[in-house]
A and B are shown apart, each in its own frame.
Chain A
Amino acid sequence: MSAIKFHFALLFSACLWMNTASVNADDKIDTTKETSRLVKVLNSNKDTYAKAMACRRLAAIGDQSAVESIAKYLGDEKLATYARSALENIPGKASSAALRGALKNVQGNQLVGVINSISKRKDSQATSDLIPLLSDKNTKVAFAAAHALGSIGTKPAANALLAAIGKGDKKLQGEVGFGCLMCARSLAKQGDKKTALALTEAVNQANLPKNIKLAATQLTIVLKGEAGLGLLAAELKTKDLQRFRSALQAARDLGKVSTPTLIDVYKNLSDERKTLVIAVLSLSHDSAALPLIREAATKGAAPLKLQAIYALGELAPSLDEKAQFPVATDLFDLVKQNDSEIVTAAQAVLAKLSSNQPSSKIKPFIAMHTRELVESEGLNQQLTGIQLAGACRISSATPAMLKLAQHSNADVKQAAIKALGGTTSSADLPQLIALALKSVNDPTASDALKAAGSRLPLEKTAKMLADAMQDASTEQKQLLLNQLAALGGETALKTVVEAAHSNQDALQNTATDLLGKWVTIDVAPPLLELAKNLDNRKYKIRSLRGYIRVARQLNMTPAQRLEVCRNTLAMAERNDEKKLVFEVLRRYPNPKAVNYTTSLLKDKQLNVPASAIIVSWAERGTPIDADLLQNALQQVVATTSNDNLKQRAAQQQARIKGQAKQDERGLGFQSLFDGKSFTGWHGNEKIFRIENGEIVAGSLDKKVERNEFLRSNKEYDDFELKLEFKLLGEKTNAGVQIRTAEIPDHHEVIGYQADLGNGYWGCLYDESRRKKILAGPPKDQRDLPVRMNDWNSYRIRCSGPRIQIWINGVQTVDFTEEDTQIPLKGIIALQIHGNLVNQVHYRNVRLREL
């Protein structure tokens, strides 16, 4: 019997994922047993959903024993796809045989489906069954058969397809053509190039749609390789644009081998086609194409020239440095021309060359020629040089740029200011700052400053800008604040926060606005502080909105996010800001957020929005632990006054409950208590009794004298245990013993206890052994997940030395036993604590062994 590691609740689960999906590699499930259970579902009169999910699970774990039961549904309109998913994936002959068998007794669309499944399994044994279907009067069937033969891809399949060429309707013929090409590819892959080429040839000769013939020609050329260059040349010479383009694609696939052919046919082509050839040539990064591309770039007509310049941009950076100099020289000739498109293109390529290899010699070469342009007499050339200096970040050009920034010609002046964004170094930055401050209303200068700041050393730049705040006018300060915000970092934040605290309204306005858009989470504490302490109501609210925005838009840990939510709700006076908090909770569900939202239900004003979030989580299938979400929904039902939400919550609760039950069954949970008898248990039946299908112990008017335990007959080592409990009384205590041993003739037992009751909720206690709490939440947080005097769920998981506990889906313990002497196996026992007036109820006890 094979017991494969199996974890996934995949098939049934939406909700189990979040907590259990994480690495539980030790889970095992008996797939043979599970298969037979699923087969029973398929053979029962259960509904379509149950059967669909059974098929789905069988696709993942089923074996041949399930095939017969699955195959019954191959003709079922609703279930056929699910059944085929299973048969496609179940290995072995039985599934192949079942699919082949279905070719004869399934019809219409479902037959098409069966053929497709055979196609996916590439079942060559089906070839002879598929051939007659090529001429089926249902064209969809014939079409699928052609496709399946193509997919099978063997020689017999190819022969069948060849024989079918030219028969049937247009669409079928197309598919037969493509089927041949599929065969050709798989045969070529197996080394049978000859048959592959015969197939492409046959498709080429046949009367088929053009796109298929083009694909065949392309494949012919590529399969032939160097021997296909003649055909490539012929195709490149055709008038037909589509054929030409298709040939270009073949050339591209061939790579550098095709370069001589492309160069050869190039000269007799129209300019329009030359441009396309040049594009393809440049992509193969073959230096052999350089002379041709250079010639086109320098001597071609305008459109061709332009393409060739861009092709140089593609090709040149991949060449060795020596070959780049003549290209750069060409480009400097080109930037002196009058056509602005040509100039722009050549500039772009020069900038690319300059930035490509930081240490190359080409960089100073470009810098030198650029400075020459900057100093030239002609206005256009000077402008070109200025732009190039900026684009290539030539810092040695900065003094010239600063001078030209005062130029009488507005174009030159603007270009120079813009270029400073690229050329300015840290040493020159104060001058650019001064320039920007001198003309606060000129966006060119502030953009240039921003551009320079974005690449210069961060803190150093920020300090220079912060220092400039000192003697600046209000307007200048606003500009500097904007610059600092764009920069970010510690100094920038500090400076902007100071401005928000200033007594100048304009600065406060700018600063709070900028803080509200800050991109790092270190802005949160100062925003909270501003929201608390500012006098101006407008900025106060703005700061609070900025604060909650951090939780909504930026990356925080769940704990940080929750803190922001708490603080905001505590301070928010208006509904607008409260709404933002709920938006954060909705977006970032995690156990803590769910708990927090649930706790807000108690607040009358917040009940409806909190309910809405909880319901929306459930409706969207948000991955939240089923117990946790059920608990939250139950509380919505219990507390909300909004009928619509109450109804939706109840609906979702029912759905999740059903789903969870199914998930548990899928995972192999079994009930330990039948609700009627203590079968499988033993203990003091004077204390433990059965009422309404629950296990009850203790009373509300009389003390239980001593600790009593209801003990399981069986021992368990690795397991997951789930049960529900309800404790009643003023001071309560009970618990669930795990991995425990009985003490002969004694009312006490010895071992771990998942504790329950005042002060101990969810703790792991070591009963009669170390007699202390081994793990648990901080004291003040222990009762948070518990609904007092009501039913709650307990989940206890023991795997190796690791013990984990959850109450209502909230994890309270994750403990690893380090003492190797302590047994990891034992009974389970339900406790009522002695010396207290209290009562405990247990129900729905179920367990799966791991």
Chain B
Amino acid sequence: MTNKSALNRRDFMKTAAAASTVFSVPTIIPGTALGLNGTVAPSERIILGGIGIRRRGGYVLGHMLEQPDVQFAAIADVRADQRKTVKAMADKQNGDSKCDTYRDFRELLARDDIDAVLIATGDRWHATASMMAAEAGKDVYSEKPCAISIELARRLQQTIQRTGRVFQAGTQRRNVSNFAHASKLAQSGQLGKIHTVHASIYQLIDRHDWLPAEPEPDPEVVDWNMWLGPAPWRPYNHAYVDGAWRGHYDFDSGAKLLDWGAHTLDICQWALDADHTMPVTYEPKDVPDDNVIECVYENGIKLVMRRNGWMGLGTCPVRFEGEAGWVETGDSGQTAVSSDQLRASLPSPSSIPGTSPKFHVRDFFNCVKTRSKPAANEDVMARSHIACHAAAIAWKLGRKVKFDPVTEEFVNDDEANRMRSRAMREPWTV
């Protein structure tokens, strides 16, 4: 533990210093102030648990394990192979073999010693598991999309507030410098009055078929009932568990719109300083080979979600256009601007890609200690997720819808309003 901490602390300080030149919120807390000087006393460590960790989760967990003041104590997963893999990963980092494994995450949540959890299951579980964790007194870092419906996004937000927990959505681009800088350019007025912002999305898919039934596996190997969790019953097929759940209505969020949209629309909200609101109209456009949804804020600013026509700056690109210029950036870390004058203010190219949760996880742990709100807290998450869901509903309906950001209802639109929520499978209650 000692060596690791010292090393990581140096690394952390470097990155903290670099980051602080870019971020206004949250304050980057220096390591020593958090008790990161050298060895962190066991009593000061944040004890972390994991729920449903595979690819993306493993990547995030890797960054969490690097934190000198965090100790990963337990993994809950419905898959035996993943329990084993994650335990091995944690034990190696901790230099022991103490990481506990559970099939049922309720046992993990029942432990008093665990302070916080990383939730990286599929979409169907995120909100339910997050709310259960919050009620059990844990702070939550949940991968996005954090809620599979408008109703759950709102309920998650309320539950976090009611239980007084710290919540961070896994929309890490809020803590990646090129996205932060692009947002700052828009906010600072350097682009002139902003009229249009663009958020990339991926191909929309909304499947309602069931894959052919296969015999259910031994629950010790794959607990299918637990895998389904709050999603409605359907016959088992191994492909779901191996990742083919994407695009299926019961398992995915907003016909996959939230896959990228939860990130990119969120960054647009940030750039417009609109975290307290969201667009009021959502209209799908008939553009061949694309999914274009045009959204408009109350003040007339347009937000265009689209798949095509980006500059090639990596995945999850966003673009902000004002009367005096534009900026576009993406996961490659590169930023394009409309003029040499705007170029002059660009920070040095970042080596941290947009997919990296390096600063985002640190932001979370800092807030666990200071009880501050992380960059992608429950309020920020709820707004951008609900806006994405509203856009997906407009696309499903194939027509324009109006939304009231205050009541969080579609305006005089029973049909759309009935798409805001779906039932949670019994006996799950949150």
| A contact set with B: CB distance below 8 Å | 4-8, 10-14, 17, 20-25, 27, 49, 52-53, 56, 59-61, 77-82, 84-85, 88-89, 91, 108-113, 115-117, 120, 140, 143-144, 147, 174-175, 178, 181-182, 185, 209-212, 214-215, 218-219, 245-246, 248-249, 252, 272, 275-276, 279-280, 282-283, 302-304, 306-307, 309-311, 313-314, 317, 341, 344-345, 347-349, 351-352, 355, 358, 391, 421-422, 450-451, 454-458, 460, 486, 519-521, 553-555, 557-558, 590-592, 620-623, 655, 659
Contact = CB atoms under 8 A, between A and B. Distances in A.
A4 B399 contact: no
Interface stretch (B16-24, B56-64, B91-99, B274-282): B16-24
A14 B349 CA distance: 42
Contact of A60 (B37, B348, B400, B419): B419
Contact of A23 (B33, B232, B285, B332): B285
A456 B247 CA distance: 44
A79 B425 CA distance: 10
B398 A80 contact: no
Nearest to A622: B205
A307 B33 CA distance: 6
Contacts of B425: 80-81, 113
Query: Could you say which interface size class chain B belongs to?
Result: 35 or more
Ranked 8 nearest A-B pairs via Cβ:
A211-B137, A113-B426, A307-B33, A457-B340, A81-B232, A249-B371, A84-B423, A554-B312
B33 A109 contact: no
B13 A355 contact: no
Interface string B1-38: 00000000000010001101100111111101111010
A306 B419 contact: no
Interface string B338-370: 001001111011000000000000000000011
Of listed B18, B163, B164, B310, residue having the most chain A CB within 10 A: B164
Given A22-B398, A519-B332, A52 B232 contact: yes
15 contacts: A7-B397, A116-B426, A181-B162, A185-B162, A211-B164, A215-B162, A310-B20, A341-B13, A341-B32, A348-B20, A349-B20, A555-B312, A557-B308, A622-B203, A623-B205
Interface stretch (B65-73, B168-176, B207-215): B207-215
Is chain B's interface secondary structure helix, strand, loop, or mixed overall? Answer: loop
Contacts of B398: 7-8, 20-25, 27
A24 B27 CA distance: 48
B101 interface: no
A210 B345 CA distance: 49
Nearest to B344: A455
A317 B24 contact: yes
Nearest to A246: B164
A59 B422 contact: yes
A13 B399 CA distance: 17
Of listed B20, B204, B345, residue having the most chain A CB within 10 A: B20
Given A314-B27, A458-B343, A276 B205 contact: no
B233 A306 contact: no
A553 B425 CA distance: 40
Contacts of A23: 284-286, 398-399
Contact of A178 (B26, B163, B234, B349): B163
B415 interface: yes
Interface of B: 13, 17-18, 20-21, 24-30, 32-35, 37, 135-137, 151, 158, 162-164, 203-210, 232-234, 244, 247-248, 284-289, 308-313, 332, 334, 340, 343-346, 348-349, 369-373, 395-400, 414-415, 418-419, 421-430
Contacts of B422: 59, 85, 88
Contacts of B164: 211, 214-215, 218-219, 246, 249
B308 A310 contact: no
Given A110-B426, A181-B162, A555-B309, A279 B372 contact: yes
Given A81-B425, A457-B343, A555-B310, 12 more contacts: A12-B208, A17-B204, A17-B205, A21-B398, A49-B210, A52-B234, A116-B424, A219-B162, A307-B30, A358-B345, A456-B343, A555-B312
A276 B369 contact: yes
B208 A11 contact: yes
Contact of A279 (B37, B370, B421): B370
Given A6-B415, A89-B418, A391 B24 contact: no
Contacts of A144: 427, 429
B33 A14 contact: no
Nearest to B36: A303
Nearest to B43: A241
A8 B25 CA distance: 42
Given A24-B398, A279-B370, A520 B137 contact: no
Of listed B34, B207, B248, B371, residue having the most chain A CB within 10 A: B371
Nearest to B424: A116
A112 B427 contact: yes
B408 to A, nearest CB: 14
A60 B415 contact: yes
B429 A147 contact: yes
Contacts of A450: 349
A519 B313 contact: yes
B396 A89 contact: no
A352 B177 CA distance: 13
B27 A520 contact: no
Given A218-B164, A557-B308, A621 B233 contact: no
Contacts of A13: 206, 208
A210 B138 CA distance: 12
B421 A120 contact: yes
Contacts of B345: 355, 358, 455
Contact of A454 (B204, B209, B308, B349): B349
A313 B20 contact: yes
B289 A590 contact: yes
Given A8-B398, A59-B418, A558-B289, A348 B17 contact: yes
Contacts of B310: 555
B418 A140 contact: no
Contacts of A112: 426-427, 429
Contact of B348 (A52, A283, A421, A623): A421
Given A89-B418, A279-B372, A555-B311, A313 B27 contact: yes
A78 B21 contact: no
A344 B310 CA distance: 38
Contacts of A82: 232, 423
Given A120-B421, A174-B135, A283-B27, A14 B207 contact: yes
A391 B312 contact: no
A175 B310 CA distance: 49
Contacts of A109: 426-427
B27 A310 contact: yes
Contacts of A91: 414
B312 A520 contact: yes
A14 B137 contact: no
Given A358-B345, A454-B346, A245 B369 contact: yes
B163 A143 contact: no
Nearest to A31: B415
A774 to B, nearest CB: 20
